[in-house]
């Protein structure tokens, strides 16, 4: 097993340096965003007091900064690292990737300005017409700046995914084959097989392009409304377009993470993935389903016809198949191949467990009967933080160890400290999300700046766990930093 990649070709180095820049930026955003989340949670205990209005502003910034600024951004950056290694081919045009970085950064800045200076507090989904009917809590210019910021993030998402598809094409790989459709035939005609780790990146790139375009149109319409030229968009139509995008945007995080897991599995075991054909078929199914299940977010809007709701339940169960296939591949690869423990391996193992918990709670959300009980409760907050922290961020920390080692050419600076960071983080997240799960099951409402009556104990219990989460992040980032700088020291 070779933990540090020996591939130092110029195009690999170029993509690696680029990904390193995105990683550093993403980690900085993560540190700020999690501090805001911590402040929000602490406020719910009643020990801190600031106005409800300020709480909603910080919640809005926290959600957007953590999800988009950390999650989407970091997964896009690490995708460049992964796909150039998987294909052993150069990026199609690194200038497009660099332009996307800056467009994204300006977008994130605008989101910060809209909230911190403009008091925008419409939540990260800013459901229409809430931004415009806000009871005078913020001015229209804040709407404009916020919506423009989100639009820029959307443009960056489009550019990055275009760049990914073009890179795949430049390497001579067919996009259709790389969506998993290759596996419909038992043996490919020309004998070439698409590397399995590439598939989730391509499935996501196509899905995001399809979902982002209508959402961008909605944003432009809202932008015009914020200038006062037009009014009165149909609220239900706006909501449906929002969730058309809002569901697959989660895959901008989850699918690359699946690709990272496959890539790590191949690198750690030094062999190709097992279950290739069935895995590819599962991803081909995702291509078909991913862009239509957003309506499972509007089960409670009874104006949608019943057959739509029922279809959403069935199709959402269907989208668990690529996740299940990935977890089977994971277990199979770990137990049938030579699997050695290292920091990336440990993080991946824990992330896979987190993925299972997040997935199972997702099935609960998708089941109409249960959705009636948990809609808008803290159960939802628990579910998506399980996905975002216990799975996605944990997997990302693992792949980041690979990147940092490749970049510096050195092993992890202090493996013992790295492990302490990992466990502090992971156990912290488990405790923190379970406090939320309990509150949700007992009917605790989400998006409230005070705890639901009789639930303050759970809120308090979560605080030491969240403190562990923050400490875990700091230790992990410190170890990355030392691993990178130690090599710079020895080079000099």
Binding site for Cu ion (CB under 5 A): 247
Other CB atoms within 10 A of residue 453 CB: 7
CB of 172 to ligand HEM, least distance (A): 35
Contact 7, 88 (CB under 8 A): yes
Give the residue from 352, 492, 455 showing the smallest Cα distance to 46: 455
* Binding segment toward ligand HEM, per CB under 6 A, in 37-45, 79-87, 364-372, 419-427: 37-45
Burial class (CB in 10 A: 0-12, 13-18, 19+), 227: exposed
Q: Which helix (H) or strand (E) covers residue 149, if one does?
A: helix 140-170
Q: Which does 385 bind (CB under 5 to 8 A by kind): Cu ion, ligand HEM, none?
A: ligand HEM
Q: Does 434 help bind ligand HEM (rule: CB under 6 A)? A: no
Of 267 and 446, CB closest to ligand HEM: 446
Find which of ligand HEM, Cu ion, none residue 466 binds, CB within 5 to 8 Å per kind. Answer: ligand HEM
Q: How far is the CB of 229 from ligand HEM (least distance, A)?
A: 27
Least CB distance to ligand HEM at residue 375 (A): 13
Q: Count other Cβ atoms within 10 Å, centred on residue 372.
A: 10
DSSP lists the bridge partners of residue 377 as 445
Cβ 419 to ligand HEM shortest distance, Å = 20
Angstrom distances, CA of residue 192 to CA of 178, 186, 188, 378: 11, 12, 6, 48
Rounded CA gap, 402 and 398, in Å? 7
Segment lying near ligand HEM (by CB under 6 A), choices 203-211, 305-313, 362-370, 462-470: 462-470
Span interacting with ligand HEM, options 92-100, 153-161, 380-388, 414-422, rule CB under 6 A:
380-388
Q: Minimum Å distance from CB 336 to ligand HEM?
A: 33
Query: Closer CB to ligand HEM, residue 384 or residue 407?
Result: 384
Q: Which does 181 bind (CB under 5 to 8 A by kind): ligand HEM, Cu ion, none?
A: none
Choosing from 447, 456, 471, 474, the residue that interacts with ligand HEM (CB under 6 A) is 447
- Give the binding-site size for ligand HEM (rule: CB under 6 A): 25
Tell which one of 16, 18, 22, 71 touches ligand HEM (CB under 6 A): 71
> Which CB, 70 or 263, lies closer to ligand HEM?
70
Of residues 176 through 215, those in contact with ligand HEM by CB under 6 A are: none
Give the integer Cα–Cα distance in Å for 173 and 175: 6
Quick one: 319 or 403, whose CB is closer to Cu ion?
A: 319
Two structure tokens written together for 460: 């308090």
Burial class (CB in 10 A: 0-12, 13-18, 19+), 476: buried
For residue 16, the partner it binds in ligand HEM, Cu ion, none, with Cβ less than 5 to 8 A by kind, is none
**466 interacts with ligand HEM by CB under 6 A:** yes
How many angstroms separate the CA atoms of 474 and 52, rounded? 29
Q: 36: how many CB neighbours lie within 10 A of its CB?
A: 19
Q: Given the complex with Cu ion, which of 247 and 280 has the nearer CB atom?
A: 247
Q: Which of residues 72-131 bind ligand HEM (CB under 6 A)?
A: 123-124
d(CA 440, CA 447): 12
Of 158, 152, 149, 107, residue with least CA distance to 131: 149
Distance CA 42, CA 470 (A): 13
In angstroms, the CA 382 to CA 380 distance is 5
Residues lying near ligand HEM in the complex (CB under 6 A) are found at: 34, 37-38, 40-41, 59-60, 62-63, 66-67, 70-71, 123-124, 381, 385, 388-389, 393, 446-447, 466, 469-470
């Amino acid at each position: 097993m070779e933990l540090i990649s020996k591939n130092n070709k110029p195009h690999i180095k170029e993509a690696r340096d680029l990904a390193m820049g995105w990683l550093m930026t993403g980690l900085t955003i993560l540190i700020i965003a999690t501090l805001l989340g911590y402040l929000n949670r602490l406020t719910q205990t009643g020990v801190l007091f600031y106005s409800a209005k300020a709480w909603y502003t910080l919640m809005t910034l926290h959600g957007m900064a953590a999800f988009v600024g950390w999650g989407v951004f970091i997964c896009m950056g690490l995708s460049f690292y992964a796909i150039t290694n998987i294909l052993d081919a150069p990026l199609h045009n690194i200038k497009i990737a660099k332009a996307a970085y800056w467009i994204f950064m300006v977008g994130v800045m605008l989101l910060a300005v809209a909230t911190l200076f403009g008091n925008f507090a419409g939540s990260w989904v800013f459901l229409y017409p809430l931004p415009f009917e806000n009871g005078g809590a913020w001015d229209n210019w804040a709407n404009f700046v916020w919506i423009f910021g989100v639009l820029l993030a959307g443009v960056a998402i489009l550019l990055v995914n275009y760049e990914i598809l073009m890179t795949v094409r430049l390497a001579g790989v067919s996009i259709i084959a790389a969506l998993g459709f290759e596996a419909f035939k038992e043996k490919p005609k020309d004998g070439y097989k698409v590397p399995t780790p590439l598939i989730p990146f391509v499935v996501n790139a196509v899905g995001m392009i399809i979902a982002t375009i209508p959402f961008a149109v909605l944003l432009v319409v809202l932008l015009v409304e914020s200038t006062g030229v037009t009014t009165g968009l149909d609220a239900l139509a706006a909501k449906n377009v929002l969730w058309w995008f809002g569901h697959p945007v989660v895959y901008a995080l989850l699918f690359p993470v699946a690709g990272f897991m496959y890539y790590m599995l191949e690198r750690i075991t030094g062999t190709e993935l097992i279950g290739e054909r069935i895995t590819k078929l599962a991803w081909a199914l995702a291509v078909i389903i991913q862009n239509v299940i957003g309506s499972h977010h509007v089960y409670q809007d009874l104006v949608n016809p019943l057959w739509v709701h029922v279809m959403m339940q069935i199709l959402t169960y269907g989208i668990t198949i690529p996740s299940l296939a990935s977890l089977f591949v994971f277990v199979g690869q770990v137990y049938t191949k030579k699997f050695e423990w290292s920091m990336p391996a440990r993080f991946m193992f824990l992330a896979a467990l987190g993925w299972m918990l997040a997935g199972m709670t997702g099935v609960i959300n998708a089941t109409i009967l249960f959705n009636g009980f948990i809609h808008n409760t803290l159960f939802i907050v628990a579910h998506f933080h399980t996905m975002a922290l216990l799975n996605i961020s944990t997997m990302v920390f693992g792949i980041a160890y690979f990147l940092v080692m490749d970049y510096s050419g050195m092993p992890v600076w202090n493996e013992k400290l790295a492990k302490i960071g990992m466990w502090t983080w992971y156990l912290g997240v488990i405790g923190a999300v379970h406090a939320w799960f309990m509150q949700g099951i007992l009917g605790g409402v989400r998006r409230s700046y005070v705890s639901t009556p009789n639930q303050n104990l759970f809120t308090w219990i979560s605080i030491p766990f969240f403190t562990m989460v923050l400490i875990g992040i700091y230790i992990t980032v410190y170890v990355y930093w030392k691993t990178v700088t130690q090599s710079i020291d020895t080079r000099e």
